[in-house]
Amino acid sequence: MSPSKLVPVTEDGLHGMVNGAGSSGESTTLMDSEFDEYGETTDQESNNGGGLTLEGTLDRCLGRCGLSKPRQLPMLLIVSMILGATCMAWLQRDLFGKLLGSKIVYDAVLLSLYGVTFGLMTFTALRDPGMISNAMHSDWVSGQADLPKRTYNDESCERPILRYDHYCRWINNWIGLYNHRSFIVMAMFLSVVACIGVLADVALLAFCWHTTDWWQKGCLLLHCAYSLAFAYYVLPIFRQHIRFVSRNELAQDWKSDAFYIVHHAVTGEPIAVNTLEDEEEYNAYFDTFQYDGTRNPWDEGCPKNCRIFWCTPRWTDGQLGEF
C-alpha cells in the first residue's frame, strides 16, 4: 500500500523536519488540492462530508455550469483574478488617485503586476512540462532503455515527464523540467497580488473611511475578504514549494515520503516512512515524520540547491533533468 494514500486528514499537513526546520502547521486539505493528480472525490471524503466543503460546493456549482472538473479550478482562478484586477483598476485606482494626487505610479504598478502574473499563468499552463521525446518513449516502452532519473510516468499524461514535480489543478497542467521555474515565479506573483490587495484595501478603508460612500466601503470590504481568502490558499503553496527548492526535493518525492523517517517508539531507530505498510502504523507515526537530508541524494545544501534550481539550463540538447 502506498504511504501517500494513507495520509489522514489532520491539522498538521506538513511532514516535520530534522532540527525543527519547517515545523508543521499547514492544512492537508490545501496541499492535497494542489498536488492531487486527478481531482476526484474519494469515498472516504464523501463519507466525511467532503461534499459540504467550500471546494465541494464550488465543484457542484461549476459542474452545473457545464465546466468539466479539470477546467473548474483554472476557470475559477482566471475569473477571480479578472474580477480582482477590475476592482483594483476601478475603485482602488480612483481612491488612490485622490489620496496621492496622481495615478501614474499606481497604474504602472498595477499593469506590471497583473500583466506579469497573467503572462506567467498562461506560459505555465500551456508550456510542455518536459515530456520525453518520442524516440526515448519508444526505447522505454520496448525495454531498451530506462527512464532518466527523476522522471515520472503519470498515467494521465501521454508520455513520462522529465524532472516531474506534480500536477497542478489550478492551471490544469503538469509541472516538470520546462515549466517548474515559471510555476514558482507564478506562485510568488499570485502571493504578491493577494497581499497587495489586502494592504491596499486596509489602507483605503483607514484613510478614506469618512470620505467614501457606503457602496465603496462595501466593495473594499468584499475585495479585502476575497484577497484574504486568496492569500489563505496561495501563500502556503508558495511557501511549501520554496521549501522544496531549498532541499532540492520534488513534490513527487514529498508525496511518496521518499526522504522522510520516523523513530521507533521503543528503540529509537530511524525507520523510512515509505517502508510503513500498515495503515494504522502509518497514521500513528504521521505527526512525527521528519525530513532526512542524508536520504536525499540531490540535497547539497540550501545555497547550492537554489543555484542548481535557478541557474541550471533546462532547454539544452540532452538535458534530462537529472539534477
User: CB-hemisphere CA count at 13 Å for 271?
Assistant: 18
pLDDT per position as a tens digit, 51-76: 455 556 655 665 655 555 667 888 88
The three grid cell numbers given for residue 321, joined into one nine-digit string: 533533468
Alpha-carbon distance of 195 to 190, in angstroms, equals 9
pTM score: 0.80
What average pLDDT does the segment 191-198 reach?
A: 96
Q: Which of 246, 251, 245, 242 is nearest to 150 (CA)?
A: 251
Would you state the pLDDT for residue 210? 87
pLDDT at 288: 86
CA distance 92 to 85: 10
What CA–CA distance (Å, rounded) separates 153 from 141?
A: 11
Give the pLDDT band of residue 278 (cuts 50, 70, 90).
confident
16, β-bridge pairs: 290
The pLDDT, as a whole number, for residue 252 is 95
CB-count burial class (<10 Å; 0-12, 13-18, 19+) for 200: buried
Whether residue 29 is predicted with pLDDT greater than 70 in this model: the reply is: no
Mean pLDDT along residues 190-197: 96
Q: Quick one: average pLDDT of 245-251?
A: 97
Q: Is the pLDDT of residue 7 over 90?
A: no
Classify 322 as helix, strand or coil: coil
Name the DSSP letter for residue 155: T
Q: Which stretch of 67-71, 135-139, 203-207, 278-282 has the lowest confidence by average pLDDT?
A: 67-71
Question: pLDDT above 90 covers what percent of the chain?
Answer: 59
